[in-house]
Structure 1
Amino acid sequence: MHIDKQILDKVNVWLTPVFDSKTQDVITKMMTSAPKELEDSFYKNLEFGTGGMRGIMGVGTNRINQYTLGKNTQGLSNYLKKVFAGEELKVAIAYDCRHNSDTLAKVVANVFSANGIKVYLFSELRPTPELSFAVRHLNCHAGIVLTASHNPPEYNGYKVYWQDGGQLVPPQDGEIIQIIESLQYSDINFEGNENLIKYIDREVDEAFWQSTVDNASFNTPQTAKDSLKIVYTPLHGTSIKSIPNVLEKAGYKDVNIVPEQEQPDGNFPTVKSPNPEEPEALTMALELAEKINADIVVGTDPDSDRLGVAVRDLDGKMKLLNGNQSMVIMTAFLLEQWKRADKLTENEFIGSTIVSTPLMLELASAYGIECKVGLTGFKWIAKFIKDFPSQQFIGGGEESFGFMIGDAVRDKDAVGAILLVCEIAAQAKAAGSSIFRELVNLSLDFGFYKEHLISITKRGIEGANEIKQMMVDLRENPLKEINGQRVVCIEDYQSSKALDLMSNESYDITIPKSNVLIYYLEDGSKICARPSGTEPKIKFYFSVNAELPSIEAYNIIEQELDIKIKNIIAEMQLN
């Protein structure tokens, strides 16, 4: 197999004494026995995407290892010294249950401390939202969490947080990347200073738990809490370190943990994917719920920023909510609570994303507040909080099963969201209703919105080129009609231009540039195409809607909307 000279040049750098003998041995073996794997390991450098840097663990520039993370940390150290010159620099570091997360976290801590930066390192695995909280709680300049979120076991990742507790956003991300790319691997200082590394645990835990209870509790009577039967699974992840404690502190006693999934385990042995977006991930939790007749099922991904929720439908059967549904029900509840407390002043806002349900805009309008819409990723919602300090953030979410309440945590937070959804469920049950019935009531008021997501995986160099070509085709040969409905508007976030096909007029998009394309149809349907920033995937998001005349018509209208989505997918040849 022929390997490009530029790739071989990179490989040869990794065969110099800067790199340890074990790394060099692995590369030497790959050159003869696995040239295709060698090419994939070196053909590019890992980059920051919507969720930070994420990739397969192994040797090479396109892999997560001590050198790629060390180089990023050295670059970040140099940037911090430049931006906060003269200050005593502090960073917080957390890690999840994945293989090598603890050792990689120590590598990162060593590099920071070797550069004279004080490090607060969690002594054990902790949820990502606790890291976001800890950055502000400990007055740090930055934070790092070692996690690959919901990716398969062979992945790991590196999320960077700024002093506001939110993930990196422009211009910091670009400036840091420039510094990182200017470094040689020989510039990394791996010799840690233990005097600058402080291990943290219970003190920060207690503060985080209390903050969560304060932000996500809404005067639910203890009798209502006592009557709610909860099934919870951490899916072998970090939320076991927080959620049982938070629910207990909040007064929920009937919490049933799926025993087979209780212990953290980077192999995720009981699930195909540790992602609550995937229905099968909650199979064991649903089985336990039926066995004990639970009211609600909640589950989290490995780093506990995403949550999955299942509740009983109108027929009493357990039904998984999608991310848009759980986001809408939580947002509507928060807005109603704020209205009842007479706290709405028209200076508040909720947050959402361009690929999430349009129903968020309808909710904001109904309560007389603003819904700020940004790109995919909670870093943009956190940026809204930072950029608009005179406005108060109530809550917000995105379709990918994430939600955030208030501003104590500046990232999606399954710990707080699970407490909130239990509050909603307990209050609804006490009132003779349910979460699902409340969701149906919203459809009666605002229309029945149904969303669906397709992810198409394309691995390696060829896959990346295929994804690129798919976006080129959608731009250069735009669809004029889909499923019998005219395309009335196309928004291209890469060019920051939108075209109204009815008037043939274009207008500027003020949201930051991103490789996203959105088609709007004349019946209110919305189709979005977006290559993932952290995975070898292209994602297509579909949103359709219809009037819901009555509760009794719910199942019929849902079937009609499902058929509409299937027809759109078939016509776009995405099956």
Structure 2
Amino acid sequence: MKIVIEKAKSWLDKHIFDEQTVNEVQELISNDPKNLEEAFYKNLAFGTGGMRGVMGAGTNRINKYTLGKNTQGIANYLKKSFPNEQLKVAIAYDCRHNSKKFAYEVASVFSANRIQAYIFPELRPTPLLSYSVKHLDCHCGIVLTASHNPPEYNGYKVYWKDGGQLVPPQDHEIIAEIEQLQFNEIKFEANHELIKELDETTDQAFINDVIKNGSFSTPTEAKNKLNIAFTSLHGTSITLVPQTLKQAGYKNLHIVEEQAEPNGKFPTVKSPNPEEPEALELALKLGKKTNSDLVIGTDPDSDRLGIAVRDLQGELQLLNGNQTMVLMTAFLLEQWQKKSKLNQSEFVASTIVSTPMMRVLTESYGVEYKESLTGFKWIAKLIKDYPELNFIGGGEESFGFMVGDFVRDKDAVTSILLVCEMAAQLKANGLSLYEKLIQLYIDHGYFKEKLVALVKKGIEGAEEIKQKMVSLRQQPIETIDGEKIVLIEDYQTSIATNKQDHSSYTLSVPKSNVLIFYTENGTKVAARPSGTEPKIKFYISVNSALSKKEDFNEVSLNLEAKLNRIVTELGIA
């Protein structure tokens, strides 16, 4: 605690920190030791999706100074990396409290360092920022967002020249540059001549490319017959999704008006996360009222999407991220095959904690399948690492998907158009997305997944998560639901161990704190601390053969019972 107080007292220097910050820190020192410790016990770090944290004063908080220090470090790094170039950055922000203010402060720091800053003057989706980095020939990009985190959070994602998020070696080199800085070295005085607000031409260029990459010769009549309900969950997608669908020819779009107004308080939901069924309640109500074929919702920065489709009884049924990803991947593979574009130089990508069905599906088309760590920065890195291969698409279980490589991050805007194309074409042929999913299970095996996320907040929570992973390594699981463990992948040591013959091999992806257990019957359990939230996540996958549609409900119930047994057995209910 002594070290924490010393760090906090350094923030009382009025020559460096503004009056509001000084007063807030003084209040913490005088009256709130618990929150003081939380605010200063460490420096806020980059995770899988950039840097996210609670807003407020302190080194472990999102504020003008932690963001300013990051930005100054990036500015210094850019100057070293591109010494003879006129440096340019693109900046966007979402609907959260202080996002606009933080974005302009970031622009001020870049401009003070003689770097051209292009900024969207109003909130915009994260995939547009990723696109704009390449479109505007920038050296990097910044988006102020905390994605689907609670209202008290904000965050800072960094993108590199290719439009993808930071990956090695740039991430470690930039972090080193940031860590050696002192707060008094941040240049906050803006050079307004180097700050340029972007206009709608950038939006339209993005929409044009979304339609180019996400449309697949769907007849106008089929588009006219598709009925869609949509919610932006108070976020950024309202600025581009309706316009994109309209320009692509989809006219029957019903918007949840109560959630159409951007609002960082997210007043109509407990969590603005399309992974949570509660978040889409209003959209489902609208879908029922309007007899929609499809219900779609996005998170606040519009990189994730959740969908509901009509089941065999005609009721709206929410799909999970793995199911949505499998459907979109299957549709893309079918379209590429129809156009005779599959020539053994393509690949599909997903992550190590996503459904194993992605590999089975992709390889059935003779297409190469690649896996990465969790986070789309790693999928974007695969595109960069394999320039000789064409990227068809890919996603992860956490409701994110990327269509082609024109955006190098998960992209709900293009994914929504892709889902609409698929649904419209199926409906025109008398089928539904749900029936298509069942057919995929018949063709490739019924894979069913469950995610259990245990929230462990604060210092104690972080220690609890750490100890859980230590325990899983020191006392590894030997059986799951009566099935023997045959393979353990430890991504922290990069070693995979075959429990049958006791052989081992080196894992090819970068190191990460992830453990995956596989059984003799193909059951898979992965344990992973979240990189952006105070959670430890368990990803469970089971599978079974499915011979015909009539057996679907019975097999589904059996697999669900198995998943529930595993959750109980692991003690993570």
Give the TM-score normalised by structure 2. 0.99
The C-alpha deviation readout for 1:149-171, integer Å capped at 9, x for no partner, is 00000000000000000000011
Deviation at 1:201, TM superposition (A): 2.6
Alignment partners' CA distance in 2, 1:156 and 1:329: 32
Letter in 2 for 1:184: Q
Structure 2 residues without counterparts, runs of 5 or longer: none
Letter in 1 for 2:77: Y
From 383, 393, 396, give the equivalent of 1:395.
393
Deviation at 1:118, TM superposition (A): 0.2
The C-alpha deviation readout for 1:355-387, integer Å capped at 9, x for no partner, is 001111111211111111000000011001111
Equivalent residues in 2 for 1:79-228, closer than 5 Å: 79-228=77-226
Alignment partners' CA distance in 1, 2:84 and 2:394: 37
Equivalent residues in 2 for 1:201-280, closer than 5 Å: 201-280=199-278
Q: Does 1:487 align with 2:498?
A: no
Deviation at 1:202, TM superposition (A): 0.1
Deviation at 1:291, TM superposition (A): 1.0
Equivalent residues in 2 for 1:451-530, closer than 5 Å: 451-530=449-528
Q: Secondary structure at the match of 2:439?
A: helix
Report if the CA contact (8 A) 2:5-2:29 is conserved.
no
User: Match of 1:367?
Assistant: 365
User: Match of 2:10?
Assistant: 13
Q: Secondary structure at the match of 1:344?
A: coil
Alignment partners' CA distance in 2, 1:481 and 1:368: 33
Alignment partners' CA distance in 1, 2:199 and 2:158: 20
Report if the CA contact (8 A) 2:220-2:249 is conserved.
yes
From 345, 364, 368, give the equivalent of 2:343.
345
Alignment partners' CA distance in 2, 1:328 and 1:39: 44
Alignment partners' CA distance in 1, 2:23 and 2:331: 57
The C-alpha deviation readout for 1:30-77, integer Å capped at 9, x for no partner, is 122211001000001111100000000000000000000000000000
Report if the CA contact (8 A) 2:130-2:164 is conserved.
yes
User: Match of 2:307?
Assistant: 309
Alignment partners' CA distance in 1, 2:466 and 2:92: 34
Letter in 2 for 1:178: A
Alignment partners' CA distance in 2, 1:482 and 1:393: 36
Deviation at 1:433, TM superposition (A): 0.4
User: Match of 1:446?
Assistant: 444
Alignment partners' CA distance in 2, 1:56 and 1:524: 40
Report if the CA contact (8 A) 1:494-1:513 is conserved.
yes
Letter in 2 for 1:408: F
Alignment partners' CA distance in 2, 1:479 and 1:299: 37
| Superposition misfits of 4+ residues, deviation over 6 angstroms | none
Report if the CA contact (8 A) 1:519-1:527 is conserved.
yes
From 50, 53, 62, give the equivalent of 1:52.
50
Letter in 1 for 2:299: D
Q: Secondary structure at the match of 1:14?
A: helix
The C-alpha deviation readout for 1:66-107, integer Å capped at 9, x for no partner, is 000000000000000000111000000000000000000000
Give the TM-score normalised by structure 1. 0.99
Report if the CA contact (8 A) 1:73-1:111 is conserved.
yes
Report if the CA contact (8 A) 1:243-1:415 is conserved.
yes
Alignment partners' CA distance in 1, 2:385 and 2:111: 31
Alignment partners' CA distance in 1, 2:480 and 2:305: 33
Structure 1 residues without counterparts, runs of 5 or longer: none
Deviation at 1:254, TM superposition (A): 0.2
Alignment partners' CA distance in 1, 2:44 and 2:320: 30
RMSD over equivalenced CA pairs, Å = 0.6
The C-alpha deviation readout for 1:330-359, integer Å capped at 9, x for no partner, is 000000000010000110001100000111
Alignment partners' CA distance in 2, 1:419 and 1:62: 39
Report if the CA contact (8 A) 2:93-2:123 is conserved.
yes
Report if the CA contact (8 A) 2:465-2:535 is conserved.
yes
Alignment partners' CA distance in 1, 2:375 and 2:6: 35
Deviation at 1:16, TM superposition (A): 1.3
Q: Secondary structure at the match of 2:46?
A: coil
Letter in 2 for 1:6: I
Q: Secondary structure at the match of 2:12?
A: coil
Q: Secondary structure at the match of 1:395?
A: strand
Letter in 1 for 2:392: I
Alignment partners' CA distance in 1, 2:20 and 2:396: 42
Letter in 2 for 1:15: L
Deviation at 1:564, TM superposition (A): 0.4
Deviation at 1:307, TM superposition (A): 0.1
Deviation at 1:434, TM superposition (A): 0.7
User: Match of 1:404?
Assistant: 402
Alignment partners' CA distance in 2, 1:313 and 1:371: 30
Letter in 1 for 2:143: V
User: Match of 1:318?
Assistant: 316
Aligned residue pairs, count: 572
Q: Secondary structure at the match of 1:170?
A: coil
Report if the CA contact (8 A) 1:124-1:201 is conserved.
no
Alignment partners' CA distance in 1, 2:66 and 2:119: 20
Q: Secondary structure at the match of 1:256?
A: strand
Deviation at 1:292, TM superposition (A): 1.4
Letter in 2 for 1:308: G
Alignment partners' CA distance in 2, 1:7 and 1:170: 31
Deviation at 1:549, TM superposition (A): 1.7
Letter in 1 for 2:211: V
Deviation at 1:29, TM superposition (A): 1.1
Alignment partners' CA distance in 1, 2:535 and 2:60: 16
Report if the CA contact (8 A) 1:282-1:299 is conserved.
yes
Q: Secondary structure at the match of 2:96?
A: coil
Alignment partners' CA distance in 1, 2:67 and 2:211: 35
Q: Secondary structure at the match of 1:539?
A: strand
User: Match of 1:535?
Assistant: 533
Alignment partners' CA distance in 2, 1:509 and 1:219: 41
Q: Does 1:381 align with 2:361?
A: no
Alignment partners' CA distance in 2, 1:241 and 1:358: 35
User: Match of 1:283?
Assistant: 281
Q: Secondary structure at the match of 2:525?
A: strand
Alignment partners' CA distance in 2, 1:29 and 1:144: 32
